[in-house]
Structure 1
Amino acid sequence: MQPARAKIMGHPIHPMLVVFPIGLYIISFVFDLVYLSIGDPFWFRMAYWTMLGGLIGNVAAAIPGFLDYLTLPPKTEARQIATYHMGIGVTLAILYFANLLLRDWGVIAANQQPWGVVILNLVGVLLIGLQGWLGGELVYKHGVGVEEKGRTGEERFRRVA
């Protein structure tokens, strides 16, 4: 098991922070779909601002994630998976930054159909799913960020009477 390097009171920081960009990126896509459905520019603006929040959260989560990455021994399966996980995270930051630039501060004429940025958003959401799966592999298969403290799995999860 490989304990996390970046912690608060013994708990890894990276998993605490990733929920924000994940949620904000996904809701930005939902807002894009709402905009396409009803044509109210408010929803396009909301997609822009939630996407911006997601990008800020993405960068914030990447810092402790990178510190945890540095704890992984080179030339291991966990390090390889973590490298892909990190690469997708960097790709997501670039993709959403580009998407934000294409959105002109969230200003759009009513009933305009911005398919390019919406498809870019969909690609981002799909990449988030892949990145999350790889993160799950790191935690559940390789124990990254998990501290065992010398206990076996059976001891850790014994039943409470």
Structure 2
Amino acid sequence: MPTRSVPSAAAIGGRPIHAILVPFPIACFVLTLAVDIAYWQTGTLMWQRFAEWLLFAGLVTGGLAALAGLIDAIARRPLRQSHHTWVHGIGNVIVLLLAFFNSLVHARDGWTGVVPWGLGLSAATVLVLLVTGWIGLGMVFRHGAGVSDHD
């Protein structure tokens, strides 16, 4: 249980925007890996097209989530002073950079758009997401980041 909560500065109706947006890029990037594997196994071009759209949606929603997280980090001193915040934030910037380069790789035609580099970048993106997600959950559950006190 956190010792004290640190409410989100970027919130709508008391709900933290960062926490609302984060599931979307996570789902998009994990599904990108899944459809890359499907393309690798089947060679069906449809899977590469799905990956391109998933990467685009993940980058847009990830950028919005990053902006909301940055607002929280800047506005709340306890978050700004925590090394967990910076590791989480920098890790997620790395996720977005990997996804951006993955999007460029997927823009190539056919097999070379996915195998081997697109598939590798998708896997690396998901691995970094696992680490940053773990850190982010720790920030919420152990340090009360984005948690409001309720009477």
Please say whether Structure 1 and Structure 2 have the same fold, judged by a TM-score greater than 0.5.
Answer: yes
In structure 2, the partner of 1:73 is: 78
In structure 1, the partner of 2:66 is: 62
- 1:78-102: per-residue Cα shift (whole Å, max 9, x none)? x200100000111111111111112
In structure 2, the partner of 1:39 is: 43
In structure 2, the partner of 1:108 is: 110
Match of 1:19 among 23, 27, 37: 23
Query: 1:57: Cα distance to partner?
Result: 0.9
In structure 1, the partner of 2:131 is: 130
Indicate conservation of the 8 Å contact 2:105/2:117, yes or no: no
> Structure 1 pair 145/46, CA: closer, same or farther in 2 (3 Å)?
same
Match of 2:55 among 43, 51, 73: 51
| Separation (CA, whole Å) in 2 of partners of 1:89 and 1:37 | 29
| Separation (CA, whole Å) in 1 of partners of 2:80 and 2:18 | 22
Given the two structures, how large is their TM-score scaled by the length of structure 1? 0.84
Given the two structures, how large is their TM-score scaled by the length of structure 2? 0.89
In structure 2, the partner of 1:155 is: none
| Structure 2 residues not aligned, in runs of 5+ | none
Indicate conservation of the 8 Å contact 2:51/2:106, yes or no: no
More helix by proportion, 1 or 2?
2
Match of 1:96 among 99, 104, 107: 99
Give the secondary-structure state (helix, strand or coil) at the position aligned to 1:73. Answer: helix
> Structure 1 pair 26/148, CA: closer, same or farther in 2 (3 Å)?
same
Give aligned-pair identity as a percent.
29
Q: What value does the CA root-mean-square deviation take over the aligned residues? A: 1.9
> Which aligned segments of 4 or more residues in structure 1 are displaced greater than 4 angstroms?
none
When Rg is computed on C-alpha atoms for both structures, the one with the higher figure is 1
Query: 1:113: Cα distance to partner?
Result: 6.4
| Separation (CA, whole Å) in 1 of partners of 2:43 and 2:116 | 13
| Separation (CA, whole Å) in 1 of partners of 2:102 and 2:77 | 32
In structure 2, the partner of 1:157 is: none
Query: 1:72: Cα distance to partner?
Result: 3.2
